[in-house]
Amino acid sequence: MAPKIAMALATCTLPETSTAPVIAAMMTPQVSLVGVAGFKFPLVVIMVTSADSGTFVVSMMTTNGNLNPATPTKLTWGVILAAITGAVLVSGSVQVAKAMAIFGAIPFTFIVVVQIVAFMRAIRQDEGKRPAGAQAPAGAAE
């Protein structure tokens, strides 16, 4: 079994090294205690922790930054995120996952641009609030 895993890992190209642990976990025998404890259990823990964190953050954002969102809110978002994830997995298409990533990234791009503009405005306003007689820091443009 070890040569089979080594061959599978060797076929991973350099940009795809993040898939190597998943490939190794899939190639390990189901009955092997090392396979379960060494690869599959930590992988499940990472996935569950990430899902829980994502659900918590989305719940917090939808409750106006409440640091302790209500349990029904977290459950609702958990079900929504699980349904979306399940639909993508059932589709079995990488194209669907790519389209969803792009669909989610486009609005965020506009948010980042607005944040940059707001930051630049804040810097300009702060420049104008320098006390009378104060000098600009060394190397700062006047």
| 140 in a structural domain | no
77 and 50 inside one domain: yes
Range of the domain at 115: 94-127
Examine residue 53 and state whether it is found in any structural domain, yes or no.
yes
Q: Are 85 and 72 within 8 A, CB to CB?
A: no
Rounded-to-integer distance, Cα 64 and Cα 18, Å: 35
pTM of the model: 0.50
In terms of average pLDDT, the best of 20-24, 46-50, 71-75, 83-87 is 71-75
**pLDDT for 67-116, tens place per residue?**
899 999 999 999 998 898 888 888 877 888 888 888 888 888 999 999 99
Does 48 share its domain with 71? Answer: yes
Quick one: 103 and 79 in the same domain? no
Domain count, the chain: 3
Residues 47 and 79 both lie in one domain: yes
Same structural domain for residues 85 and 100? no
Give per-residue pLDDT as tens, 108-118: 899 999 999 99
